[in-house]
Structure 1
Amino acid sequence: MTSEHDITLARTTDALAIAELSRDAIEYGLTWRWTVRRVMRCIHDADTNVVVMRRGGTGVPAFAIMQYGEQEAHVSLLAVHPGHRRQGLASALLTWLEATARVAGCTAIHLEVRITNPGAMAFYRRHGFGETGVSVGYYEGVEDAVRMVKPLSVSADAA
């Protein structure tokens, strides 16, 4: 990770780039649900972190959205633009999300992955996530999701 990569909370001006990357990299073949309006709601939601990876202060080559409950967090989306993959951006975002969840007192992070995306499942396994089951028809009734979870130890800062 070099200094040219910065993880920051998303601004409202990032909503279009986030929504488009979600549509193209995550929601392909499905109805576009993570629209600009929905991303904007998440940006303004106190129980949600929308974070972006910036390169040289401009552009959004990667982003993540994570929602917080009382004791658990849920990664709703994590995407890297195809031209920026294999550069550690997703790992950096996931590390940031995990650290933030620990500080928030969360004991686990949950997520779902399209069953047809073995690369994403392998990525999350490398980061300590385990499979907990399959949600049949999770994606609009046309595709199953693999549910994954990573137990967290709570940071001393949160105690």
Structure 2
Amino acid sequence: MTEADLPDVLIIERSTFPIDAWSEGMLRGELADQPRTRHYIVAVSAGRIVGYAGLAAAGDQADVQTIAVSGAMQRAGIGSAMLTELLGEAARRGVTAVFLEVRADNPPAQAMYERFGFERIGLRRDYYDDGTDAIMMMRKLDGEIGNA
């Protein structure tokens, strides 16, 4: 992902996360740390950005910062493809554990992460701006990144 992608990314961000969407400034800040501690990607279909995802990595740990797919393209395997890329990047950076938070009211995302071997490790109460809890998940990496 580059700054040139931000207009399209922000459309998806605001429609996917209407209550707690990241601002343009927040996304620019994330991109400013590429490639040192960040890895952001976009998914393109028919010449249009239809999804994006980001990873923060430091030392032997990483966090999935975000994954979003435009509404019309959801459930088409794009999120899984982007997660595979993020896990591959984590492995290339020598990461041994990847963490994330997922909304407690988003069973499809939780199911995708579980298919990829993420396990629930905790709960953050009232984590999101609307008071929704976040489920904390983790996956250990053993150098082998498999698809779900």
Give the conservation status (yes or no) of the 8 Å contact 1:18–1:39.
Answer: no
8 Å Cα contact 2:20/2:128 also seen in 1: no
Q: CA deviation at 1:16?
A: 2.1
Unaligned 5+ runs, structure 2: none
SS at match of 2:125: strand
- Residue 70 of structure 2 is matched in structure 1 by 81
What is the one-letter code of the residue matched to 1:153? D
- Runs of 4 or more off by more than 4 Å in structure 1? none
Cα offset, 1:102, TM superposition: 0.4
TM-score when scaled to structure 1?
Answer: 0.83
**TM-score after normalising by structure 2:** 0.89
SS across alignment from 2:39? strand
Aligned length: 142
Structure with greater strand share of residues? 1
| 1:43 maps to which of 21, 27, 31 | 31
Quote the sequence identity (%): 28
**Aligned counterpart in structure 1 of residue 139 of structure 2, from 150, 153, 159:** 150
Counterpart Cα distance in 1 of 2:45 and 2:76: 12
The match for 2:89 among 100, 104, 107 is 100
**1:31 CA displacement:** 3.8
Structure 1 residue ranges without an equivalent (≥5): 1-9
Cα distance in 1 for residues equivalent to 2:82 and 2:137: 17
Deviations 1:19-78 (A, max 9, x none): 2212211x22x243x11121122112121111001124x221011011111111101110
